[in-house]
């Protein structure tokens, strides 16, 4: 049965009366009424003026609103916010310009200060580090008790307020509490306080803060159902969707600190389990109802979303019952109007995959409820998330993972979880309610954890009450960022990096992120200047599991982590360039290199080795800043390994990087015979200067007569294999190779014959005007096509010929002025041979293909990458790369290991 007849029958049989409509509604009106959510139906019945969202063409909507006696208060690309008589809503819904009429999406405060000493702020305060010159914005739902807080000195009198549409009576004091915490942390920072009522106000508040020149914004709010969780928002709001507003703030140089959410113990999610014959979904085994309790007087929002963004015809409905039984119909007394049945299936082009129910529990007693999900058509093999926002507890089933709130899930936001002072001091865990990652596209969240359950003058039921939640934690981090920013010109990504590095935790996870907020000892702060490069004339082998070199004369075991010192480096070395070769794995395995002992909380590609094969990759590895070592992590199977050092980045190294805007062919295609080598002039040709010390090249090998090894070197061969091609395939490897005294680089082929092509992406030279390298402590996972359509599930892959933009800068520690980057492209489960082209967005596709793969049969369901290549590239002013592949479908991933500063973009 389709949605419209079902709903029409329900309305015609008396549901309209249950919703306070003045008279039963004829079934013929159902097509129009199906565009109205439950909030709009109730407003229509009451006849009172109501504020609603209307989705469709804004110009046509505005005209229709005025024709029905209403006023438009804001617009977005596919939405208007309007106030009009409730009785006019059915007629408005009948207008063809209207896709949907729904309740405005209200923000939810993340609330469930002793925190200052535990962050070491007093040491900074005593040394004069109080945030003078820093401007901090607070976006919140209200600033009640602000006058009293100013009088008491808890909020500075100079704080500027933009109250927007919030009004002045019966308003929350949540925002005032956030301002208190920021002021405690950074007492000389200038505060700007912006109030919001719904999602469309959020953009207005952000714009006002941009106009004030703020450096930091704290967002202690969540906006249910407004985005997928990967940094993209509802398409009807376009740039005004909360996730997109956060991205715009970051693009404007503002550090956005967002509360991770208080839904760690109020979230249930995963793959949909199927349903009974009537479409009622199973949530846990054969259980279909999600039970929960609501505090007396509490307002909660139950949110259901499924991973079919941005619009879908896949249709689910959400019902909240006061008894543990599925509703018999929309007029079931136990349902009481608590349902959401948006017409995804019945709307041309579909609607966003979200249903929300908001209700308030009577103040005389708590209540218990059960949420039920009903499927009405379309594919069901996808991820869902069912979350109860607000003062709810005692959920029947919970999955803390992937509970990060919107917009904290954005890669452009610094998401903050919550930990109590007692747990912070004892090394304990985050609060149970503190939302956890990973995000829907596989990124680690939260980024950081900070203190909660601290006293507040304006929070709680009386001055001095204790207030908790990730909102308080986020305000601590925003204040800490202001302390760092005071008296400096540090940009958002530098502030982010300082905050994460000072947390002092090796590794990261989806509970604590990088650790708990701590400013560290007072010190002079400055933006990183980067490192020059020193290429080694002859590669230096530091590990060989077939010999004593490196102290590991045996295969690596599954799950093993090994610490490898790198000898011969100067004290200021920060990264090393390595050739890593995996050999003769018993089964497929993946080798990763990180600076920390803890295993990476997510994919960090280095070398993926198939059973019985040899694979080599060039890796730029960040050194542990304390002991100058690397850690090697092996995943699945026994494997042998060799590692050679090609060079290192250090403060004292003199060679700087000069990227080319459009990679060019230096040599080939040329055939190399067995046990033979060729020389390629790499100085004084095609713009490469005569003083170049090393060149960044991409070597592509085809037509291998048999399995062989290719070594690219400058002076002397060392049996350090740059590339390991196989017959019938096409292998690409990027490498930084020193230029020999004869102005040439050499390529050696071990067996059979092979055809090679050499392309140049840049060079290193000892002169001013070049770029210097800044390694990232943790590799950043920037893009995954496998997550682009299904919450980590493997879709059919990215079709060939589909350009994908990968933003590199202004996120995850990479500043907006980066002029180059070390990037890994990774492909898995390619059904046929394909080339992956990468180009700077400003300069177009040159045919530079740093990654190619032979046709590979699918591996196990674990979906490990089967081919990686790390390459050095320049970046244009946009800071973005475009990635594209040539044939069939493939799953592509993009990672960033570090960036370059200076030189010519």
CATH number at residue 283: 2.60.120.380
Whether residues 285 and 374 share a domain: the answer is: yes
Q: Is the same domain home to 760 and 857?
A: no
User: For residue 820, is it within any domain?
Assistant: yes
Is residue 596 annotated as a catalytic residue, yes or no? no
Cα four-point dihedral sign 38, 41, 45, 48: positive
Q: How many domains does the chain have?
A: 6
We report the CATH number of the domain holding residue 622 as: 2.60.120
Active site residue 426: no
Residues of the chain with pLDDT under 50: 1-28, 113-114, 460-462, 788-795, 851, 853-865
Catalytic entry in 140, 317, 332, 441: 140
> Does residue 471 sit in helix, strand or coil?
helix
Same-domain check for residues 716 and 830: no
pLDDT given at position 790: 31
Per-residue DSSP letters for 668-725? EEEEE-TTEEEEEE-SSSTT--TTEEEEEEEEEEE--SSS--EEEESS---S--SB--
pLDDT at residue 810, rounded to an integer: 86
Q: Is 792 inside a domain boundary?
A: yes
Q: Which of 650, 670, 694 is the last residue of a domain?
A: 650
E strand residue ranges, 635-675: 640-650, 656-672
The structure's pTM equals 0.85
Domain match, 427 and 495 both: yes
Distance CA 837, CA 846 (A): 8
* 400 in any annotated domain: no
Crossing angle of the two packed helices 470-485 and 174-185, in degrees rounded to 10 = 40
Structural domain contains residue 9 = no
Name the active-site residue from 125, 174, 267, 864.
Answer: 174
Packing angle, helices 470-485 and 492-502, rounded to 10: 110
Q: Which of 366, 374, 353, 382 is nearest to 322 (CA)?
A: 366
Q: How would you class 626 by CB atoms within 10 Å of its CB: exposed for 0-12, middle for 13-18, buried for 19 or more?
A: exposed
**Distance linking the first and last C-alpha atoms of the chain:** 59
Secondary-structure percent of the chain, ordered helix, strand, coil, rounded to 5: 15, 40, 45
The answer to the question of residue 523 being in a domain is: no
- Quick one: 123 and 254 in the same domain? yes
Looking at 471, 590, 655, 723, which residue is catalytic? 471
What single-letter DSSP state applies at residue 486? Answer: T
pLDDT at 625: 84
pLDDT, tens digit (0-9, with 9 covering 90-100), for 115-143? 566 788 888 888 889 999 999 999 999 99
CA gap 412, 256 in Å, rounded: 7
Is there a catalytic annotation at residue 778? no
Q: Quick check: is 339 in a domain? A: yes
Residue 255 region by backbone torsions, left for phi larger than 0, else alpha for psi between -120 and 50, else beta: beta
- What pLDDT is stored for residue 501 in this prediction? 87
* Nearest residue to 473 (alpha-carbon basis) of 122, 159, 194, 182: 182
Task: Kindly state whether residues 120 and 192 are assigned to the same domain.
Answer: yes
The pLDDT, as a whole number, for residue 457 is: 63
The domain boundary, picked from 765, 790, 812, lies at: 765
> Taking a C-beta distance cutoff of 8 angstroms, is the pair 680, 744 a contact?
yes
* Sequence-ordered list of residues with C-beta below 8 angstroms from that of 490, at least 6 positions apart, any chain: 484, 498, 525, 526, 527
Look at residue 233 in the predicted model and tell me its pLDDT.
83
Where among 725, 742, 765 does a domain terminate? 765
Q: Which are the contacts of 350, defined by CB distance < 8 A and separation ≥ 6?
A: 311, 312, 313, 314, 344
Query: How many Cβ atoms sit within 10 Å of the Cβ of residue 229?
Result: 28
Clarify whether residues 369 and 287 are in a common domain. Answer: yes
List strand residue ranges (DSSP E) for 131-254, in order. 135-140, 160-162, 190-195, 216-219, 221-222
Q: State which residues form the domain around 851.
A: 772-901
Q: Could you give the CA distance from residue 133 to residue 189 in angstroms, rounded to a whole number? A: 6
Same domain for 663 and 609, yes or no, is no
Give the CA distances from residue 251 to residues 236, 451, 732, 841, in Å, rounded to whole numbers and listed in that order: 21, 28, 34, 16
Q: In terms of C-beta density within 10 A (0-12 exposed, 13-18 middle, 19 or more buried), how is residue 587 classed?
A: middle
Q: By C-alpha distance, which of 86, 124, 861 is closest to 483?
A: 124
Q: Residue 226 belongs to a domain with what CATH number? A: 3.40.50.200
Residue 8 falls within a domain, yes or no? no
pLDDT digit string (tens) for 45-73? 888 899 999 999 999 999 999 999 999 99
How many Å apart are CA 661 and CA 869, to the nearest integer?
Answer: 19
For residue 522, tell me if it sits in a domain.
no
Distance between CA atoms of residues 232 and 805, nearest Å? 14
Residue 718's CATH number? 2.60.120.340
Same domain as 416, residue 478: yes
Tally of CA atoms within 13 A in the half-sphere of 9 that contains its CB: 6
Is the domain of 569 the same as that of 704?
no
Local structure of 156: helix, strand or coil: coil
Whether 708 and 745 map to the same domain: the answer is: yes
Same domain (yes/no): 349, 369: yes
pLDDT, position 828: 67
Q: Which of 776, 775, 725, 713 minimizes the C-alpha distance to 750?
A: 725
């Amino acid at each position: 049965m389709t949605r419209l007849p079902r709903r029409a029958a329900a309305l015609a049989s008396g549901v309209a009366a249950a919703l306070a409509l003045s008279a039963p509604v004829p079934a013929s009106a159902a097509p129009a009424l199906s565009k109205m959510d439950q909030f709009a139906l109730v407003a229509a019945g009451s006849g009172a003026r109501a504020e609603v969202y209307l989705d469709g063409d804004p110009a046509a909507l505005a005209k229709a609103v005025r024709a029905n006696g209403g006023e438009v208060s804001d617009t977005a690309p596919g939405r208007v916010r309007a106030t009009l008589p409730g009785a006019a809503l059915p007629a408005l819904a009948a207008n063809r310009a209207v896709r949907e009429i729904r309740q405005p999406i209200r923000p939810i405060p993340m609330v469930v200060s002793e925190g200052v000493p535990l962050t070491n702020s007093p040491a900074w305060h005593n040394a004069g580090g109080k945030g003078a010159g820093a401007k901090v914005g607070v976006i919140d739902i209200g600033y009640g008790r602000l006058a009293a807080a100013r009088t008491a000195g808890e909020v500075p009198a100079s704080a500027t307020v933009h109250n927007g549409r919030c009004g002045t009576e019966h308003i929350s004091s949540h925002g005032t509490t956030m301002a208190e915490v920021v002021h405690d942390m950074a007492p000389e920072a200038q505060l700007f306080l912006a109030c919001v009522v719904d999602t469309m106000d959020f953009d207005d508040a952000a714009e006002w803060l941009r106009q004030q020149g703020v450096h930091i914004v704290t967002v202690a709010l969540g906006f249910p159902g407004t985005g997928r969780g990967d940094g993209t928002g509802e398409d009807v709001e376009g740039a005004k969707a909360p996730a997109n507003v956060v991205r715009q703030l970051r693009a404007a140089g503002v550090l956005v600190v967002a509360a991770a959410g208080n839904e760690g113990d109020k979230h249930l999610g995963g793959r949909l389990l199927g349903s009974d014959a009537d479409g009622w979904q199973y949530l846990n085994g054969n259980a279909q109802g999600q039970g929960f309790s609501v505090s007396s007087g509490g307002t909660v929002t139950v949110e259901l979303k499924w991973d079919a963004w941005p619009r879908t015809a896949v249709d689910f409905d959400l019902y909240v019952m006061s008894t543990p039984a599925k509703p018999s119909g929309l007029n079931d007394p136990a349902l009481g109007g608590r349902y959401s049945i948006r017409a995804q299936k019945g709307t041309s082009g579909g609607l966003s995959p979200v249903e929300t129910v908001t209700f308030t529990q009577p103040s005389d007693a708590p209540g218990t409820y059960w949420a039920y999900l009903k499927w009405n058509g379309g594919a069901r093999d996808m991820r869902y998330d069912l979350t109860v926002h607000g003062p709810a507890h005692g959920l029947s089933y919970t999955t803390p993972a992937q509970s990060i709130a919107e917009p904290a899930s954005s890669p452009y936001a610094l998401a903050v979880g919550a930990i109590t002072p007692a747990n912070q001091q004892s090394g304990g865990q985050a609060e149970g309610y503190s939302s956890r990652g990973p995000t829907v596209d596989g990124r680690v969240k939260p980024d950081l954890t900070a203190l909660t359950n601290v006293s507040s003058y304006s929070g709680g039921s009386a001055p001095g009450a204790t207030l908790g939640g990730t909102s308080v934690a986020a305000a601590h981090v925003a204040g800490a960022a202001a302390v760092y920013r005071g008296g400096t010109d540090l940009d958002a990504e530098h502030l982010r990096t300082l905050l994460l590095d000072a947390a002092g935790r090796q590794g990261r996870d989806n509970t604590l992120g990088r650790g708990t907020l701590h400013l560290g000892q007072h010190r002079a702060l400055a933006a990183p200047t980067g490192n020059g490069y020193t290429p080694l004339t002859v590669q230096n082998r530091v590990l060989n599991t077939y010999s004593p070199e490196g102290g590991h004369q045996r295969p690596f075991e599954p799950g093993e982590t090994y610490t490898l010192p790198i000898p011969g480096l100067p004290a200021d070395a920060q990264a090393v360039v390595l050739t890593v070769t995996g050999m003769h794995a018993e089964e497929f395995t993946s080798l990763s290199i990180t600076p920390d002992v803890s295993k990476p909380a997510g994919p960090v590609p280095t070398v993926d080795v198939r059973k019985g094969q040899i694979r080599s990759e060039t890796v730029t590895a960040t050194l542990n800043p304390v002991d100058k070592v690397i850690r090697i992590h092996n995943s699945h199977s026994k494997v042998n390994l060799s590692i050679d050092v090609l060079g290192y980045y250090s403060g004292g190294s003199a060679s700087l990087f000069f990227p080319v805007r459009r990679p060019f062919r230096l040599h080939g295609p040329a055939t190399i015979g067995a046990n033979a080598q060729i020389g390629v002039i790499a100085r004084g040709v095609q713009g490469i200067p005569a003083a170049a010390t090393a060149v960044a090249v991409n070597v592509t090998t085809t037509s291998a007569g048999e399995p062989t090894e290719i070594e690219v070197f400058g002076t002397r061969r060392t049996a350090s294999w740059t590339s390991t091609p196989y017959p019938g395939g096409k292998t690409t490897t990027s490498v930084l190779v020193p230029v020999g005294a004869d102005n040439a680089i050499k390529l050696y082929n071990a067996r059979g014959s092979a055809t090679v092509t050499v392309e140049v992406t840049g060079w290193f030279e000892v002169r001013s005007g070049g770029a210097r390298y800044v390694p990232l402590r943790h590799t950043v996972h920037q893009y995954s096509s496998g997550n682009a359509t299904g919450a980590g599930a493997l879709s059919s892959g990215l079709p060939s010929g589909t350009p994908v933009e990968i933003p590199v800068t202004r996120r995850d520690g990479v500043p907006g002025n980066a002029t180059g980057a070390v990037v890994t492209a990774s492909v898995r489960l390619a059904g046929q041979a394909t080339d992956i082209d990468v180009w700077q967005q400003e300069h177009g596709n040159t045919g530079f293909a740093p990654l190619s793969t032979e046709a590979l049969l699918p591996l196990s369901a674990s979906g490990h990458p089967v081919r990686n290549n790390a390459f050095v590239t320049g970046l244009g002013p946009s800071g973005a790369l475009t990635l594209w592949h040539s044939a069939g479908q493939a799953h592509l991933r993009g990672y960033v290991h570090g960036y370059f500063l200076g030189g010519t973009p």
